[in-house]
Structure 1
Amino acid sequence: MSLGILTNVAATYAENNLNQTQGSLQTVLQQLSSGSRINSGADDAAGLSVADGLHANEAALTQSAQNAQNGVGLLQTADGALSQVTNLLDRATTLATEAQNGGLTAAQTTAANTEFQSIVTEIGNIGTATNFNSNAVFSAAATNFVVTDGTATGTTTIAATVGALTTASVGTATGGGAGATLSGLSLVTGAAAALAAVNGAITDVSNQRGAIGANINQLNAASNVASTEEVNLSSAESSIRSTNYGQATSDLAKFQVLSQTGISALAQANSVQQEILKLLQ
């Protein structure tokens, strides 16, 4: 091999290798400091795509679990209101039974009817005034609660219908129809008819609460599934994205040694060129 000074091939090789080592060392240090194996698309393009997709699924599932719990809150509000309606109807039953007693005076029957009418009015007020997040709770229209992982095939819509609550429709009949009517009843002129209507209303309210309870259980199950799926996807994302510290620390030691030896090799390659000067002496 001839001696020359125009091109120091050995130094060029040493410099290229040193640059590559420094780049790898920088990548390892970034992984160690960030805790993430993928800090740019260049680190793992396919892995980044999968991890970002999983992260989007996790975000959708987290919100879906909250959506379902909001639905549970709405339905529990309705159930609590209906529990109070049942208490009122129990009192109305007592009054209607009492009004059928022939031993009451007209004034006593009128007093019982006055309380009965106030109970009917209050049931209507409960139906009108019960709200959840500024929305009326008692409605014949279905409320849709969406549980999704962010994909079309992973979306489930749960439709829950609380049902209307008015003096003309207390509870819901079997099959979801209108409940019993308490409008126009009087203990003075028709205590027996009033008692029959109140008993029917108690049955319909029980039916309504049963349907609401089934929806609550369904929403709780959907929330639990979404939460479990979110945890599993988070684990999968972590396995792709997170730094493997055992491997990274091993690579760090390797590249630190290569960096030191590369600098030494470059210094040696440069010093060889100085030997040519001896030929000119």
Structure 2
Amino acid sequence: MGLKPSGGLPMIRWNTIGFRDAGKGQALHRHDREAVPGRRAQSKEKFKMALSILNNIPSLAAQNQLAITGSELQRTLFRLSSGSRINSGSDDAAGLAIADGLHANITALTQSSRNANDGVGALQVADGSLAQVTTLLNRAVTLATESANGTVSNNQRVALDSEFSAIRAEIDRIGTNTTFNGTAVFTATPTNVYLSDSTSGGASNIGVTTGLLSASGIGLTANASGTLTSTANAVATKTVTVGATTYTYVANLSATPTANEVLIGANAAATLANLASAINGGAGAGTTYGQGTVANASAVAVAGATTVSFVSKTPGTAGNTVATTTTDVGNTFGTATMTGGGTGVATLTTAVLAQAALTNINAAIAFVAGTRGQIGAAINRLQSAVNVMQNQSQNLSAAEDGIRAADIAQEVANMTKFSILNQTGISSLAQANQMQQSVLKLLQ
């Protein structure tokens, strides 16, 4: 069947060839398109690859693909061997920054937990030492109770007092020599336990104070020394008029300071005794009008009336004069060193002193018990901080693991895939390299 050309298109002639399929008995047709003579036929050009020895393009393509596959296989093997998904910044830059920050927090929390545990250890050392002090004080109670008994002889009390002195010395030794990691445990300054999570504002110090431990600190020291300096001046002007008669009195004032009952740790006090004036005159005997008392270590107060009144029982002689002459009175204490007194009783040599010592020992036991209670509270606080930090470290480790850790199942699947691709790539490269060898056959 032919078609006439129209619109400048070439004439196409279709030939239909019919034949029958022997197996199904169906008629099949094949259409052949042929160009009409005189017209150029339009046909689809097919890609033709020329044989060349200048560049082996298939080999180059196989090499490039093999390099990519090998790189992926190597990365997969790195992840499997290290267990980490991020082995370099190129793997995941943002994930690496986040994971490194979390790891820094974990490291700080771990060390802070160790710091807190060290603090707990130091407090436990202090608590153990105080437990031994309590044992010594209980022994001191036994000694004081025995010494206070009236059936004990003086020689026996001397022996009891000797052991009591040894107990005080041992308490002092414990307070001085108890150390943790080369540092004294019983100090007046607090020991700071540094806790940090490496973030801004995340650091804190927990102050742990055990206090000084000595026999003097718990009320068992009886020896003390100190310096007392005081100056007291008294100026008095007195005028006495009796009726119309004037008398003249000469006042001789003297004062002798005597330091008594000076207590270390309390308001130091000394009594000025014998501060008196002897008023001697023609009218009668002298009169004591004042007695001074040192109120504290820095001030002197002379107690007494500010005025003195005299009443004459008999009329005086006209023309006589009654007068007083005053003298400045000054009392100066130099350096006074005092021993004894103190905050406790240091001897069991008498029953009375033993009873007083027993009171102080019981107070010391209560003091040590209170200190141990404070130490126990600090231990509980530090242990609570350790538990919190361990929980934080666990949660941060889980977060870091989710970012940094490799998915082993996925990486094993990738290893299998890239291993197969690597093997096929090597085979393809070998085949591509063999293609140029066939060109040599044309030259044979």
List per-residue Cα deviations over 1:145-197 (Å, max 9, x = no partner): 122222233323211001100121129xxxxxx9xx76552223522321211
- Which residue matches 1:221? 384
- Which residue matches 2:268? none
Once the two structures are TM-superposed, the CA of residue 280 in structure 1 deviates from its matched residue by 9.3
Give the letter aligned to residue 188 of structure 1: T
CA contact (8 A) 1:31 1:39 kept: yes
- Which residue matches 1:54? 102
Bigger relative contact order (CA 8 A; separation at least 6): 1
* More divergent stretch after superposition (148-157 vs 132-141): 148-157
- Which residue matches 2:122? 74
Give the letter aligned to residue 19 of structure 1: A
Once the two structures are TM-superposed, the CA of residue 265 in structure 1 deviates from its matched residue by 4.4
CA contact (8 A) 1:124 1:166 kept: yes
Matches of 2:372 and 2:427, distance apart in 1: 82
Q: What is the aligned residue count?
A: 273
Once the two structures are TM-superposed, the CA of residue 276 in structure 1 deviates from its matched residue by 7.7
Give the letter aligned to residue 174 of structure 2: I
Once the two structures are TM-superposed, the CA of residue 9 in structure 1 deviates from its matched residue by 5.0
Give the letter aligned to residue 67 of structure 1: N
- Which residue matches 2:289? none
List per-residue Cα deviations over 1:21-64 (Å, max 9, x = no partner): 12111111222222222222211222222222222222222222
Instruction: Say which SS state the counterpart of residue 20 (structure 1) adopts.
Output: helix
Match of 1:83 among 131, 138, 141: 131
- Which residue matches 1:188? 349
Structure 2 unaligned segments of length 5 or more: list them. Answer: 1-46, 220-264, 266-341
Matches of 1:118 and 1:135, distance apart in 2: 25
The structure that has the greater radius of gyration is 2
Q: Structure 1 residue 40 and structure 2 residue 201: aligned? A: no
Q: Structure 1 residue 125 and structure 2 residue 173: aligned? A: yes
Q: Judging changes above 3 Å, is the alpha-carbon distance between structure 1 residues 14 and 23 closer, same or farther for their aligned structure 2 residues?
A: same
Which aligned pairs between 1:75-224 and structure 2 lie closer than 5 A? 75-170=123-218, 184-188=345-349, 190-224=353-387
Once the two structures are TM-superposed, the CA of residue 16 in structure 1 deviates from its matched residue by 2.5
Identity of aligned residues (%): 51
CA contact (8 A) 1:182 1:194 kept: no
Match of 2:424 among 261, 268, 273: 261
Once the two structures are TM-superposed, the CA of residue 272 in structure 1 deviates from its matched residue by 6.2
List per-residue Cα deviations over 1:209-247 (Å, max 9, x = no partner): 000000111111112222232233233323322221211
- Which residue matches 1:247? 410
- Which residue matches 2:281? none
Give the letter aligned to residue 346 of structure 2: L
Once the two structures are TM-superposed, the CA of residue 264 in structure 1 deviates from its matched residue by 4.4
Match of 2:113 among 59, 65, 70: 65
Matches of 2:370 and 2:103, distance apart in 1: 42
Q: Judging changes above 3 Å, is the alpha-carbon distance between structure 1 residues 20 and 104 closer, same or farther for their aligned structure 2 residues?
A: same
Higher helix share: 1
TM-score, normalization by structure 1: 0.85
Matches of 1:145 and 1:51, distance apart in 2: 28
- Which residue matches 1:15? 63
Q: Judging changes above 3 Å, is the alpha-carbon distance between structure 1 residues 121 and 277 closer, same or farther for their aligned structure 2 residues?
A: closer
Matches of 1:267 and 1:115, distance apart in 2: 100
RMSD: 2.7
Instruction: Say which SS state the counterpart of residue 204 (structure 2) adopts.
Output: strand
Q: Judging changes above 3 Å, is the alpha-carbon distance between structure 1 residues 270 and 206 closer, same or farther for their aligned structure 2 residues?
A: same
Instruction: Say which SS state the counterpart of residue 187 (structure 2) adopts.
Output: coil
Structure 1 unaligned segments of length 5 or more: list them. Answer: 172-177
* More divergent stretch after superposition (184-193 vs 104-113): 184-193
TM-score, normalization by structure 2: 0.56
